[in-house]
Amino acid sequence: MSEAFLVHYILCTLPQQYDPFKISYNTHKDKWSINELLTMCVQEEGRLLMEEKEKEIVNFTTPGKYKKKDQAKDKGKGKIPPQKVIKKEIVCFFCKKKGHVKKQCSKFMKWLDKKGFTRPAEADGK
């Protein structure tokens, strides 16, 4: 098989993302060797990866409560709408009651004493 045929075959089997790359090859008068084609494909793959990362960054948006008029007025002021704060209730893992944690649980302290274990240093209030 000739090298020109292999280069053509490789170009034909590239995925659709490489279409601009193929067009670029076809518009040049110079024909590439297989080594040159591989080098160019590696460069093109790096460019496509960078392009994909840029799309991810550009497409990251947050929902806002501004209308178009407000956006034009506030443009460049760097205002970000406040986020809702989620409050979780504290629940003891030992007695399952709300309002305290295991190391502050009186039932847990009694259980430790009953079993003969020493109390954790955090539970002593120090």
pTM exceeds 0.85: no
> How far is the CA of 53 from the CAs of 9, 50, 56, 57, 70, in angstroms?
29, 5, 5, 6, 30
Q: Structural domain of residue 96, as residue ranges?
A: 86-121
* Residues contacting 44, CB < 8 A, separation 6+: 18, 21
Q: Are 27 and 53 in contact (CB under 8 A)?
A: no
- Asked whether 106 and 121 are in contact (CB, 8 A), the reply is no
Assess if residue 77 is contained within a domain: no
Mean pLDDT for the stretch of residues 51-68: 64
| Average confidence (pLDDT) over 46-71 | 68
> What's the pLDDT at 122?
57
pLDDT for 115: 84
In the chain, how many domains are there?
Answer: 2
Residue 101 counted as domain residue? yes
- Predicted confidence (pLDDT) at residue 84 exceeds the cutoff of 80: no
Q: Average pLDDT, whole number, for the chain?
A: 78
In this prediction, residue 94 carries a pLDDT of: 86
Q: For residue 71, is it within any domain?
A: no
Q: Above 80 in pLDDT, residue 118?
A: no
- 115 within domain boundaries: yes
Residue 40 in any domain: the answer is: yes
